[in-house]
Amino acid sequence: MKNVTIVKQDSSMKLISGFFSCYNIPMHILYNERQNAPHNESFSPSAGKPKLFIDRIKAKYPVTIHSDWQPLERSDFYLAHDPAYVDTILDGQKANGFGNTSPALAQTLYYTNASFYHASSYALQHQCITLSPSSGFHHASYSSCFGYCTFNGLIITAIKLYQEYSLKKIGIIDFDAHYGNGTDNIIEHLGLNYIHHQGIKQLLDQHQKFQLSTLEKLLLQFKDCDYLLYQAGADPHIDDPLGGYLSTEELRIRDEKVFTFSQEHHIPLTWNLAGGYQQPIEKVLDLHENTVKEWLRAESNQKGNKKRQQ
């Protein structure tokens, strides 16, 4: 990764709060503009969301954007999916997760999935938290697509990391609003017993209310993992038309606990945007930005703890 863009804080950072304006912590983001399909017509904004998100946060936060990385090869998709299924999707013979056969969208799949993989590889190499501004993974099963998900970048990444870094256990914390049925399907189909996968429904009681104690217990299931993949979806928000579980404050606590857990247990982590369907899209971007703030807060706390120990 030779080319990086380092975007320093500008004066607009001060508008967020005095607390955040004192940060000088680089945020490593693996992003390439080829991840975007801005003219994809769909209820889901996911195909064009990466650029909107990056344009928003790079004006406010100290980000290091790594963009000089290679897309995935077709053979990488074969790791987690039926090769015949992969070929029909990429060759435009079968509708993708958005229900179309757009060649432009098919090309973004090589980069969207690669963003998540490269962000994860960077985090493992540097033992840190990274971000991939990607979505559209967890409903993709071994041989089918569904719900705006075409290929399962979570599983593709997990398999590649397992093979390349000799990991023993990988955790997928999927806190998108919806069940990652595709993820479980591939884990079962391929017998991937080194992957531990949990979803957001485990955090809710019988009345669909968020339980903090349940979150803390659930995270402890991941304490023996070598690496964590975190889907920080905006769609669990109570105002989301396809979600409706958590308040803004509960989403903040969700993110705070995950990032703090990662750091306290010294487990590198990569997070992504996952779902979010409120209109206008600025409401979704607001929630994703809140996750960025919790990431920064966790990094700042860790930096402060290290200074105190010196």
Q: What is the Cα gyration radius of the chain?
A: 18
Q: Is the pLDDT higher at 14 or at 187?
A: 187
In DSSP terms, which residues pair with 5 in a beta bridge? 65
221, two tokens: 């299931």
pLDDT for 223 beyond 80:
yes
Residue that is written with structure tokens 């104690």 in the block = 213
pLDDT of residue 140: 97
Q: Which of 5-14, 88-97, 209-218 is the least confident region?
A: 5-14
What is the C-alpha to C-alpha distance for residues 120 and 130, in angstroms, rounded to an integer?
Answer: 7
In DSSP terms, which residues pair with 172 in a beta bridge? 197, 229
pLDDT digits (tens, 9 = 90+) for 247-279: 999 999 999 999 999 999 999 999 999 999 999
Using DSSP's 3-state secondary structure scheme, residue 2 falls into coil
pLDDT of residue 151: 98
pLDDT digits (tens, 9 = 90+) for 23-51: 467 789 999 999 987 665 544 566 689 99
Which residues fall within 8 angstroms of residue 57, CB to CB, at 6 or more apart?
63, 289, 292
pLDDT of residue 107: 95
What is the C-alpha to C-alpha distance for residues 100 and 97, in angstroms, rounded to an integer?
Answer: 8
- CA–CA–CA angle 21, 29, 71 (5° rounding): 165
108, two tokens: 């973004």
CATH number of 4-309: 3.40.800.20
Rounded to an integer, the average pLDDT of 172-201 is: 96
What is the C-alpha to C-alpha distance for residues 269 and 59, in angstroms, rounded to an integer?
Answer: 24
171, two tokens: 């955790």
Rounded to an integer, the average pLDDT of 57-83 is: 95
Q: Which of 2-11, 70-79, 89-98, 152-161 is the least confident region?
A: 2-11
pLDDT for 244 beyond 70:
yes
pLDDT of residue 123: 98
pLDDT of residue 207: 75
The 269-272 sheet, strands edge to edge: 4-7, 63-66, 27-30, 129-132, 269-272, 227-231, 170-174, 195-199
- Tell me what the pLDDT averaged over the chain comes to: 89
Q: Where are the alpha helices (DSSP H) in the chain?
A: 18-21, 49-57, 74-78, 83-90, 103-126, 153-165, 181-190, 212-220, 248-264, 281-309
pLDDT of residue 307: 58
**CB of 246 closer than 8 Å to CB of 254:** yes
pLDDT of residue 28: 97
**CB of 186 closer than 8 Å to CB of 155:** yes
pLDDT for 146 beyond 70:
yes
Residue 211's pLDDT band, with cuts at 50, 70 and 90, is confident
36, two tokens: 């975007």
Are β-strands 170-174 and 227-231 bridged in parallel, bridged antiparallel, or unpaired? Answer: parallel
Write a three-state SS string for 252-298.
HHHHHHHHHHHHHCCCCEEEECCCCCCCCHHHHHHHHHHHHHHHHHH
Rounded to an integer, the average pLDDT of 175-202 is: 95
pLDDT of residue 308: 60
Query: Whose CA is closest to 236, among 279, 278, 183?
Result: 278
pLDDT of residue 38: 62
Q: How far is CA 165 from the centre of its chain?
A: 20
pLDDT of residue 310: 57
In DSSP terms, which residues pair with 130 in a beta bridge? 28, 270
Query: Whose CA is closest to 290, among 244, 241, 252?
Result: 252
Query: Whose CA is closest to 196, among 166, 234, 162?
Result: 162
